[in-house]
């Protein structure tokens, strides 16, 4: 048989097929044997069985469930509705107030034509945090700009219960106010107040309140900065906690909460262009500052501030002799300090 006939014969084809099968089987067996030691049969592969380069990586820190945090704090955050009696000027006949304000009548030097005013019942809406209970009296902390000069105050709990509240005390300097209501119902949750000094930049926080009247709204973010100074209404508060958790009108007086479900701040104000909504710049009053205010409101009706007084005068002869400084030049200074001042 010629070589050409041999290559085209049926026996040569079968021989090649068997040879290929033997080689493939050998390679498969070698591959299986090589990996049988790395992944033993009948065992589940875990991180400890992986190569050292992978198992040495540090595990990620689990973020606590926001659901659990919100569930704990929501019942202690309330809706605060206030009504105030205000007087507004009566517009001229046939002329609405904005037009009259922008285009005053000639010869009137910008004064309204009618000196009369009309009484209106103005409604305001904000939030508050239940911070204390003494007997049947429940205390709610909110902002001074929420309580304002309200004639009537209503507190609404997350479960829909309503209570008529009264003002205990307020402090424009810190923009804080304390209101209270009475109830014999023991099922009134009180918030846990945390330590605002422990708040660090990057910590997760949630803001709870009633923005635009949407009760019990929860938003999440982080602590953007701590100890902000020279900001806020009147630039009188130097311990703001800055956060990017969404805070909008109506959130004022609500709670800024850490992942332990502790209140670390009272939401106060936002930076927004042209009075708009949240742009990620929200500020809360540090709760450590508010703790003393709560006590002062209950005990004195106002925040008690310390003061230092100094009086300087010439050492006239009689005084110089009494003080043993006769013949000496200079002035005598008297100082006095108190930890409290009269009510303001």
Closest CA to 243 of 288, 278, 212, 280: 280
Closest CA to 126 of 170, 172, 81: 81
Tracing tokens 């033993």 back to the chain, one arrives at 40
Closest CA to 148 of 182, 171, 174, 115: 171
Q: Respond yes or no: is residue 198 known to be catalytic.
A: no
Question: How many other β-carbons are positioned within 10 Å of the β-carbon of residue 334?
Answer: 9
Tracing tokens 């205010």 back to the chain, one arrives at 293
Q: Respond yes or no: is residue 145 known to be catalytic.
A: yes
Angstrom distances, CA of residue 238 to CA of 21, 32, 70, 149, 230:
82, 69, 28, 25, 6
CA distance linking residue 56 with residue 48, whole number of Å: 9
Question: How many other β-carbons are positioned within 10 Å of the β-carbon of residue 28?
Answer: 10
Please count the residues of the chain: 344
CB 176 within 8 A of CB 285: yes
Q: Is 272 helix (H, G, I), strand (E, B) or coil?
A: coil
Choose, from 127, 196, 252, 268, the residue flagged as catalytic. Answer: 252
- The tokens of 199 are what? 């708040």
Q: Respond yes or no: is residue 34 known to be catalytic.
A: no
Choose, from 76, 145, 171, 196, the residue flagged as catalytic. Answer: 145
Q: Is 210 helix (H, G, I), strand (E, B) or coil?
A: coil
Question: How many other β-carbons are positioned within 10 Å of the β-carbon of residue 226?
Answer: 20
Choose, from 76, 171, 175, 196, the residue flagged as catalytic. Answer: 175
Q: Which residues are catalytic?
A: 145, 175, 252
């Amino acid at each position: 048989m010629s070589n050409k006939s041999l290559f085209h014969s049926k026996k040569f084809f079968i021989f090649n097929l068997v040879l290929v099968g033997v080689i493939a089987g050998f390679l498969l067996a070698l591959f299986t044997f090589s990996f049988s030691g790395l992944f033993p049969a009948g065992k589940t592969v875990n991180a400890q069985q992986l190569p050292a380069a992978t198992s040495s990586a540090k595990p990620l820190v689990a973020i606590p469930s926001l659901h659990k945090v919100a569930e704990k704090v929501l019942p202690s955050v309330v809706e605060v509705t206030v009504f105030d009696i205000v007087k507004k000027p009566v517009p001229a006949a046939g002329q609405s107030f904005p037009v009259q304000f922008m285009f005053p009548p000639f010869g009137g030097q910008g004064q309204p034509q009618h000196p009369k005013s009309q009484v209106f019942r103005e409604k305001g809406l904000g939030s508050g945090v239940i911070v204390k209970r003494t007997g049947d009296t429940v205390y709610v902390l909110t902002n001074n700009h929420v309580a304002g000069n309200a004639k009537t105050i209503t507190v609404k709990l997350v479960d829909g219960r309503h209570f008529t509240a009264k003002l205990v005390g307020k402090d424009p300097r810190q923009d804080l106010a304390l209101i209270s209501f009475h109830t014999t119902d023991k099922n009134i949750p009180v918030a846990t107040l945390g330590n605002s000094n422990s708040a660090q930049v990057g910590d997760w926080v949630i803001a709870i309140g009633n923005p635009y009247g949407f009760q019990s709204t929860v938003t999440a973010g982080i602590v953007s900065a701590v100890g902000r100074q020279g900001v806020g209404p009147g630039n009188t508060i130097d311990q703001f906690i800055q956060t990017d958790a969404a805070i909008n009108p109506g959130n004022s007086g609500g709670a800024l909460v850490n992942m332990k479900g502790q209140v670390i701040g009272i939401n106060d104000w936002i930076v927004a262009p042209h009075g708009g909504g949240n742009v990620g710049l929200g500020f809360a009053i540090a709760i450590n500052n508010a703790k003393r205010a709560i006590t002062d409101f209950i005990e004195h009706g106002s925040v008690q501030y310390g003061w230092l007084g100094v009086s300087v005068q010439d050492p006239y002869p009689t005084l110089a002799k009494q003080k043993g400084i006769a013949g000496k030049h200079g002035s005598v200074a008297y100082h006095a300090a108190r930890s409290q001042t009269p009510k303001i």
